[in-house]
Structure 1
Amino acid sequence: MPIQMWHTPDCPQYVIMQINWESGSRRVKEQDAWAKEVFPAAHERLQQATAALPPGTAAQPFVDALTELVQAQADTTGFVVLHKWVEILERHFPPELPDPEHTSE
């Protein structure tokens, strides 16, 4: 059962909630600003690290998927949406295809 609570402007509990909301909002803005500043350099380091890896290793699909996901994030101003994640993961980790030599009874 939903409960609705009313506070007067001078209610201590309301003042504490307001301070917490403002503090949380400030932290989110600070984190976002920090991430926008640091992301390009971190993305560049990822690209350099992936370029240094020898091709054809067992980790190659993981490296390629991570690189593409990070590039997708760099290309957007918000979040990479779920369908984009799925497209990238399906491309690098396709579902098992049926074995043409296998016959079912």
Structure 2
Amino acid sequence: MQINWEAGSRRIEEQDVWAKEVFPTAHERLQQAAAAIPPGTAAQPFADALTELVQAQADTTDFVVLHRWAEILERHFPPELPDPDHTTE
């Protein structure tokens, strides 16, 4: 059991080191790809939300908390407001 615990701990450390090395350049590639999406396309809010969520993760050493997720998603995907010109029969 001790051997398994130590091996698991070592794997987690290795993954953490790898992620810290890879994250900044992967984050930069995400930002570049998101910037290349033409404004007004259907993909734009998804790219903007993902970019902001990844930035929020980059800004913390812990997990992005649920209320932060909700703030970001509400900003990029606001609730539909009723269309005053739309009438139903």
| TM-score where L is the length of structure 2 | 0.87
- Can you list the C-alpha shifts for 1:23-69, whole angstroms capped at 9, x where unaligned? 11111111011101100000000111111111110111101100100
Instruction: Note if contact 2:56-2:64 (Cα within 8 Å) is conserved in structure 1.
Output: yes
Q: Please give the residue correspondences for 1:1-105 in structure 2 after superposition, counting only pairs within 5 Å.
A: 17-100=1-84
| TM-score where L is the length of structure 1 | 0.75
Q: What fraction of aligned residue pairs are identical, expressed as a percent?
A: 86
Count of aligned positions: 87
Q: Which stretch shows the higher mean deviation, 57-66 or 93-102?
A: 93-102
Cα deviation, residue 101, structure 1: 6.0
Q: Which runs of 4+ in 1 moved over 3 A?
A: 98-103
Cα deviation, residue 78, structure 1: 1.6
| Structure 2, unaligned runs of 5 or more | none
Cα deviation, residue 88, structure 1: 0.4
In the aligned structure 1, how far is the partner of 2:45 from the partner of 2:11? 36
